[in-house]
Structure 1
Amino acid sequence: MAGALVSAAIAVTMWVMLAQTDSLHGAQRATARIDAIKTALTVGAGTGGAAALLLALRRQWLSEHTHIRQVASDQVAEFDASERRITELYTAATGQLGSDSPPVRLAGLYALERLAQDHSAHRQTVVEVYCSYLRMPFSPTPPASLPESELAGLSVSERAAASSAHQAARTVWEQERVVRITAQRILTQHLFTGVSHGPDPAWPLNPSPEEPKFWPGIDLDLTGAVLLDFEFAGRRVESATFERCRFVGGANFAYSEFIKHANFGGARFEEGSGHFMSAWFGLRAMFLGTDFGAKEAVFDGATFTGMTFFEGAVMGGGASFEAARALTDFNRSWGAVRQLPEGWTERALAADEVMPLLEQRFSRWPATNLPPGSEAWTLIVPESEGNARATSN
């Protein structure tokens, strides 16, 4: 192609310039013809150089686009291979959770944790697997042995068989208890914010930079789960459903943050108390029919920024809302309902009154607090105090 362009350029140039020599005679005509040939050759050389440059540019363009296509193809292949490896790891780990062997189930829990830590896009899926495992039926009390009245009529060998069966069942129960506590611990340790003010002491808090294992944006669904000595202090989630949960032993939600919804409807706190000191509740806090047991339900320093429901809540040991506060103008798109436990109400701050704080070591609010008479928040107080304040005003 380049040769053709050069030849055409020479031919055209020579034809044009030779045509211009027809009117000349003798030596002038010969000299003009020689000059025409030189010019045509010069033009041809220039055209050849331009053509060579164009060809080089075209080759470079083709090479670059071929490289780009190859890189894209390699990236797609690498992504597909990575997704296949993740799928294989996920399938193998979830298969381990169905094993009859407790060590194999524990290995599956740790394999899923490693997968989620390394691949953030799959964290919510892994969390849902953990939640599903914890929602599976489990009795918090060990299997009971046969009563002596039933053992009395058995032969020595039958009594030995019954004792052996009971011991085997007890071992299975204890092993499953260990697996479930491990699942709880792995799940909640990645929701820990570090209980740090961060650069800005205002709520909600930023995760501490010392917590690189924090998984943001997680939703929990532990509906109907049996949770053992549940430690959720300083944890943050987008939303959490603990509906109809059984909290056996302590249940610590101090400093926890529920950015959107927290549903404890129908939950039961057994052998311990519901501890929500300085907890943060976002769009909706639901404690409908929650049984807090015989111990005091602690909401000291808690913050309610949206709809709140305590209708039907059972508080056998009473409740404490010292220095608890509620946002006055919360998200109306979800309604405008705040129904506190029986015996508690909200009251506005007086013009010269400052919102009280818990002891500073128990409060995550800045020491400067709110300005006196702030209209943004109300204080949660016993109804008797609220009525007395209203009467005095």
Structure 2
Amino acid sequence: MSDWVRYSLLGLAVVAAAAVIIGHLRRHRVKVPLPRIPLPAGIARSVFGWLTLSITVATGTVGGLLWVLGWPKFPSSTSFTTTEILDLLKIGLAVVAGFGGVVLLAINFRKQRVAEAEHDLAIKRADREVTQGFNERFGTAAEQLAHASAAVRMAGVYAMAGLADDWADKRQVCVDVLCGYLRMPSDGENENLVSDAIMRIVRDRTTPRTFGFSDWPDTDFDFTDIEFTDLDLAGLSFGGTVTFDRSTFKGELTSFANTSFNGRLSCHGTTFSAKQTTFARAVIGGRLQFVGAEFETSKIDFSGMSLNGIGIDFYRSRFHDTEVDFSGLDIEVGGLDFTRCDFDRSDLDLSFLNTVVLQMFARLAIEDCRFTGGLLKLGDAGDPPRLASLRSTRFTETEIQGSAPWLDVRDIELIGTELPWTTSPPPDKPRPEV
């Protein structure tokens, strides 16, 4: 064995012996006078832990080496020369420096942890201050909306809209406040000006921008129990749920032309009494629900619509002297369902011209409906829907046009009405499987 190895092992043995002696003194509660270094409690614990770990590792390493070398005997101290003693002293100093490095690393590690904790606290403190500022703005805007002066209420509308732009986490709350204001009783012309300002804000924030996204994407709008006159929401994009339950549409024109509904449009108990209502070329990516709706408009235009979602459902809806135009409907995914609806002197156009609806999930269903007078127009051009049914429906003095042998007809009642085609498919054009 070389002298250098022996000296290294001797230095490690000295360190291990010192550790054993210190442990013995601590166990017997012997007070050893040590210099006091004023360290914070957290840093002191960290330093002591790292020192304990390093001593344990050094002791285990020395013991393992001695065991591998067969526990060799070291020469007596009198046999060391001056050069060898100096080498041993260097080894001892290197070991001490190593422990000093451990202490320094422990202190730096602790400081890093403290700095990170302070940084996290600073971020949380800043977030709380920002949230507090938003809450103060919300309270101020709400007070302005409740003010007696219409001018102050107008300022509150724009303040609440600006807060919704800045506070994405609570944007829905701000929008709900603005929509709720529309349901409040009107006190005259000035109140109408405030309501018109809210609707202008809605139109501006739902206008498609870059890549078709609006400023308020995925936001719900609740227009329940509101009366609209000449409502114009044409060309907008709604990503969330739009609710018109128990609302009334009046005036000359209610327009949803070219509007995109990526969420759900809910019209439960809604009354359409404007002279004309249009959903022409609208894009339906979610579901349109007309439940218990009343259609008293002279024409409701669904022509050229594109269904890419669940579809359009009419349930217990009533049509009075209304022309319902679904010509050119494009059903890629979803369907058009009429269930338990009443058509009183109303025309229903399902001609599906210039459309591609022969898809796996495209469907048309008319079930348990009542037609009194009017016209039902079924197209004989283009591709029929793959799932199409006419069931449990009564026709009274109704004109039916078009050839639709692809339609699954069952349990219908004809009073003063004739089908322009036979219910069995002609031999040269078999009915597609349903």
Question: TM bucket by the smaller chain?
Answer: 0.5 to 0.7
> Which range moved further: 91-100 or 47-56?
47-56
Contact 1:294 1:317 in 2 (8 A): yes
Partner of residue 92, structure 1: 140
Q: How does 1:149-228 map to 2 (within 5 A)?
A: 173-194=188-209, 206-207=212-213, 214-228=215-229
Letter in 2 for 1:295: S
Spell out, residue by residue over 1:156-195, the C-alpha distance to the aligned partner (whole angstroms, 9 max, x if none): xxxxxxxxxxxxxxxx51110000010111123212225x
Alignment of 1:372-383 (within 5 A): 373-377=358-362, 383=376
Q: Deviations over 1:299-343 (max 9, x none)?
A: 11123433511533334342222212345656xxxxx95447745
RMSD of aligned alpha carbons: 3.5
Name the CA shift for 1:49/1:278 in 2 (closer, same or farther; >3 Å).
same
SS at match of 1:244: coil
Q: Distance in 2 between matches of 1:60 and 1:127?
A: 50
Counterpart-to-counterpart distance in 1, 2:403 and 2:152: 62
Greater percentage in helix: 1
Secondary structure in 1 matching 2:140:
helix
Matched, 1:287 2:290: yes
For 2:250 and 2:314, how far apart are their aligned partners in 1?
23
The aligned residue for residue 397 of structure 2 is none
Do the aligned partners of 2:203 and 2:233 also contact (CA within 8 Å) in 1?
Answer: yes
Q: Is the 8 A contact 2:247 2:271 kept in 1?
A: yes
| Counterparts of residues 270-349 of structure 1 (less than 5 Å) | 270-304=273-307, 305-309=310-314, 311-326=316-331, 337-339=337-339, 342=343, 344=348
Please, which of 8, 20, 28 is the counterpart of residue 75 of structure 2? Answer: 20
Contact 1:298 1:321 in 2 (8 A): yes
1:7, 1:117 → 2: CA distance?
70
State whether structure 2 residue 57 is matched by structure 1 residue 59. no
Partner secondary structure for residue 404 of structure 2: helix
Q: Work out whether residues 297 and 315 of structure 1, in 8 Å CA contact, stay in contact via their aligned partners in 2.
A: no
Q: Say if 2:266 is the partner of 1:263.
A: yes
RCO (CA 8 Å, sep 6+): is it higher in 1 or 2? 1
Q: 1:120 to 1:10 in 2, by over 3 A?
A: closer
Question: Which residue does the alignment assign to 1:233?
Answer: 234
Alignment map for 1:359-374 (pairs within 5 Å): 370=356, 373-374=358-359
Does the 8 Å contact 1:288/1:312 carry over to 2? yes
Instruction: Show structure 2 runs of 5+ residues with no match.
Output: 1-10, 19-70, 367-374, 380-401, 406-420, 430-434
CA contact (8 A) 1:323 1:380 kept: no
CA change 1:18–1:262 in 2 (3 A) is closer
Distance (Å, rounded) in 1 between the aligned partners of 2:223 and 2:256: 15
How many Å apart are 1:229 and its aligned residue? Answer: 3.0
Rounded Cα–Cα distance in structure 2 between residues aligned with 1:269 and 1:383: 21
Structure with max Cα Rg? 2
Q: Distance in 2 between matches of 1:291 and 1:6?
A: 94
- Residue aligning to 2:21: none
Identity %: 21
- Once residues 227 and 198 of structure 2 are traced to their aligned partners in structure 1, the CA distance between those partners, rounded to angstroms, is 12
Q: Which residue of 2 aligns with 1:248?
A: 250
Measured at CA, do residues 60 and 272 of structure 1 come closer, stay the same or move farther in structure 2, by a change above 3 Å? farther
> Is the CA contact 1:270–1:293 (under 8 Å) kept in the aligned structure 2?
yes
| Partner residue in 2 for 1:136 | 184
More moved, 61-70 vs 242-251? 242-251
Tell whether the 8 Å contact from 2:254 to 2:274 is kept in structure 1 after alignment. no
TM-score (norm 2): 0.62
Matched letter for residue 250 of structure 2: V
- For the residue of structure 2 that corresponds to 1:230, the secondary structure is coil
Report the counterpart of residue 378 of structure 2 in structure 1. Answer: 385
Give the 3 Å change call, closer, same or farther, for CA 338–316 of structure 1 in structure 2: closer
1:61 positional shift: 0.7
Look up the match of 1:155: none
Is 182-191 or 69-78 further displaced after alignment?
Answer: 182-191
Give distance in 2, aligned partners of 1:51 and 1:90.
58
Residue 103 of structure 1: aligned partner: 151
Distance in 2, matches of 1:380 and 1:21, equals 106
Deviation, 1:126, is 1.1
Offset at 1:83?
A: 1.0
